[in-house]
Amino acid sequence: MKLLKKIGKYLAIIVVTILVTAGGMGIYKDYKAREEVVKRGAVPLVAKIRSSIIGRGYVVKLRSQLKHDLFIDVLFQNKDQTDKKLFKVHLEQDRPTIIGWAEGWKVNKTDLMTVSATGYLDKTYSFNKN
């Protein structure tokens, strides 16, 4: 019985040590991942605004700067941030994507657009130059 108590005590110490060590490694991995994202910078794309050909407001043209496809989230918010809409966008290499009234958001120059993608820092655009 005494032997079982000793084994149990040492087993508990081993389990606690493993958990603490694994937790520390997880924090280290997260730190390294964050460091890599910061090095990589903001989502690599070009965003331009222009009048809509259809005639309702503006549209935003997005083009990836990468040599491969990119999956991004694009969040539009009005200037008061009371209205917002999230678009899940597949940016194909060398092919721009247009977002505007026809896609579900009447773009205004005062809107904020935040672009995010896994492995990159978020980037917020404001098209109002005043």
CATH classification of the domain holding 75: 2.60.40.2950
51 and 108 share a domain?
Answer: yes
Residue pLDDT, tens place only, 82-118 = 999 999 999 998 899 999 989 999 999 999 999 999 9
Cβ(85)–Cβ(94) under 8 Å? no
- pTM of the predicted model as reported, rounded to 2 decimal places: 0.71
80 and 17 share a domain?
Answer: no
Residue pLDDT, tens place only, 37-93 = 677 788 999 999 999 887 778 999 999 999 999 999 999 999 888 999 999 999 998
Asked if residue 20 has pLDDT above 50, the reply is no
* Number of domains within the chain: 2
Range of the domain at 35: 1-40
32 and 53 share a domain?
Answer: no
79 and 30 share a domain?
Answer: no
